[in-house]
Structure 1
Amino acid sequence: MSILAGKVALVTGAGTGIGLETARLLAEAGATVAAVGRRHAVVEDVCKQIRTQGGNATAFAADISKPDEISRLISDITTSLGPIDILVNNAGSASTIPNVRWTSEEEWQTVMNVNMTAVYRLTQAVLPTMIGGNGGTIITVSSLAAIRPNLLGGAAYGAAKAAVRNFMAYLHTTFRNNQIRATCIMPGETATPIMDSRVRPPTEAERAMMMHPEDVARAVLLCCTLPDRTVIEELSIAPTRQRDISADLEAARWNGAPKEVLRQERP
């Protein structure tokens, strides 16, 4: 399939999970993929796999929480590959202390920087070329935590994902007549490496019940390959089966609590 032939697609967080699968599927569809991650060796391995399968992908290392690195990244990509037609904001950062009672401001800002502010900066960087050319597609992988926030994702994560959902709706209403397609994808639990950072990491059996990274990547591909006249504004996807998350919520509730609070309040 070469429906995306001639398109340059920037995918953040492309070293693992949803980003890796998205980079692979977009390359299969004919796009030239700029695979972005913090560790060059990791994204280069992904690109080697894609090239072995006949796709076109180039690795770029950047810390997207830093504005100067975003500026350099966009310049490097456009110089070597050409103008960016598709931006997939996939990189994310999870909360380590889910309960807002004990979430530090430093952690709050870190989660916001990666999940929201980096999306704003990347979007701002690609918009002028998209508007001045033939339009473009901007897709952000948010989370169902944007509309169903709880201790599983944590306060900072849910707030950031809700903010980016709002931002994508803003892009849609503001730039749709400039032929900019803005989409927010909100997945439920997906068996990605980010699960390892949970207070109670899910078991292998529990992860088997979740969506897999390729499931979300197929949703991204759908949004990219619809005719230019059509946009998916929002897409919510979730595991078919609902697992029992009560143990996860209880562990998250007390993570980071001071010892005196645990003595006084924890059952």
Structure 2
Amino acid sequence: MELLNGKAAIITGAGTGMGRETAKLLAAEGAAVVLVGRRRDVLDELSAEITEAGGTAYARTADIANKDEVDALVAWTRDNVGPVDILINNAGSASKILNVRWIAEEEWNQVLDVNLNAVFLLSQAVLPDMLARNTGTIITVSSLAAVTPNLLGGAAYGAAKAAVRNFMTYLHTTFRNDGLRAVTILPGETATPILDNRARPPRQEERDAMVQPEDVARAIHLVATLPQRTVVQELVIAPTRQRDTSGDIEISRWTGAPAADLPETTA
């Protein structure tokens, strides 16, 4: 049985990783998925894959931190697919500089734009239709960095993921009686391309032991396909085994530091 027949879903960061796997699962459940990202080529490739498998998909590029582009995206979806039933805020970005001592304001703002401001803009854009119909689901991929911030994800990433978790709780408490389900997914270390921004990108064998994109997609699928009467407000998904990250954290501590500030052991 296809649990999402007739539903329209917007998925950000759909070209790779968790977004890509989520799009395939929701499309297989009958949802018409609008694939949003920056690279049209990967979106077109995924759209063709979903269509070939019998699903319905549309590729749309957009700057999700730009209000005009977000409003245009939601309007296009309403006019061509239908009112948005499900919004998956999956797009994420991490900084290269992880220590708050060295990160530049421009890089800090870029991380907050993608991880927080875009979620606000997209949620605000879909709310009128959801509230008017007394139904809708907004699912945001936060991170366990929201709970335990450290130098692995960095200062900006942890702050943004904590703020977006707070924002989703606000949506839940404010609009649950209007039929809105607001859900936060909190993954631990997940083997996605964002890890390439780490001061020491994890080795392949380390990534193999992490949460995989398809694991997070299955968690999103669960909360999206539950009956509308039921909401999972938060869901934590983490690796079974916890790896030693102390060396990675120490490398991250000094990445981007001026030479004059480096300790002798790293200078």
Same fold (TM over 0.5): yes
Gaps of 5+ in 1: none
Query: Whole-Å Cα distance in 1 between the matches of residues 64 and 264 of structure 2?
Result: 41
Compute the displacement of 1:134 (Å). 3.7
Q: Which residue of 2 aligns with 1:14?
A: 14
How do 1:142-157 residues align onto structure 2 when only pairs under 5 Å count? 142-157=142-157
Residue 232 (structure 2) pairs with residue 255 (structure 1): no
Query: Whole-Å Cα distance in 1 between the matches of residues 250 and 263 of structure 2?
Result: 15
Q: SS at the partner of 2:183? A: strand
Q: Say whether the 8 Å CA contact 2:65–2:121 is kept in structure 1.
A: no
Residue 220 (structure 2) pairs with residue 220 (structure 1): yes
Q: SS at the partner of 2:262? A: helix
Residue type matched to 1:221 in 2? H
Query: Whole-Å Cα distance in 1 between the matches of residues 230 and 192 of structure 2?
Result: 30
Q: SS at the partner of 1:92? A: coil
Q: Which residue of 2 aligns with 1:245?
A: 245
Q: SS at the partner of 1:10? A: strand
Residue type matched to 2:38 in 1? R
How do 1:61-210 residues align onto structure 2 when only pairs under 5 Å count? 61-210=61-210
Q: SS at the partner of 2:15? A: coil
Deviations 1:171-200 (A, max 9, x none): 000000110000000000111111112110
Deviations 1:92-129 (A, max 9, x none): 11121100000111111111111001100000000000
Query: Whole-Å Cα distance in 1 between the matches of residues 251 and 52 of structure 2?
Result: 43
Query: Whole-Å Cα distance in 2 between the matches of residues 256 and 167 of structure 1?
Result: 31
Query: Whole-Å Cα distance in 1 between the matches of residues 40 and 156 of structure 2?
Result: 28
Compute the displacement of 1:264 (Å). 5.6
- Larger CA deviation: 73-82 vs 15-24: 73-82
The CA RMSD measured in Å over matched residues stands at: 1.1
Compute the displacement of 1:69 (Å). 1.2
- Larger CA deviation: 158-167 vs 132-141: 132-141
Query: Whole-Å Cα distance in 2 between the matches of residues 228 and 263 of structure 1?
Result: 55
Query: Whole-Å Cα distance in 2 between the matches of residues 143 and 54 of structure 1?
Result: 32
Residue type matched to 2:53 in 1? Q
Compute the displacement of 1:74 (Å). 1.1
Query: Whole-Å Cα distance in 2 between the matches of residues 75 and 129 of structure 1?
Result: 11
Q: 1:203 to 1:265 in 2, by over 3 A?
A: closer
Deviations 1:6-43 (A, max 9, x none): 00010000000000000000001110000100111211
Q: SS at the partner of 1:101? A: coil
Query: Whole-Å Cα distance in 2 between the matches of residues 174 and 69 of structure 1?
Result: 26
The count of aligned residue pairs is: 267
Deviations 1:110-167 (A, max 9, x none): 1111100110000000000000014100000000000010000000000000000000
Q: SS at the partner of 2:126? A: helix
Q: SS at the partner of 1:183? A: strand
Q: SS at the partner of 2:2? A: coil
Q: Which residue of 2 aligns with 1:232?
A: 232
Compute the displacement of 1:243 (Å). 1.0
Residue identity over aligned pairs, in percent, reads: 61
Q: SS at the partner of 1:111? A: helix
Q: Which residue of 1 aligns with 2:59?
A: 59
Deviations 1:29-82 (A, max 9, x none): 110000100111211111111111111111011111222211111111111111
Q: Which residue of 2 aligns with 1:44?
A: 44
Query: Whole-Å Cα distance in 1 between the matches of residues 55 and 192 of structure 2?
Result: 23
Query: Whole-Å Cα distance in 2 between the matches of residues 152 and 198 of structure 1?
Result: 7
When normalised by structure 2's length, the TM-score is: 0.98
Compute the displacement of 1:225 (Å). 0.7
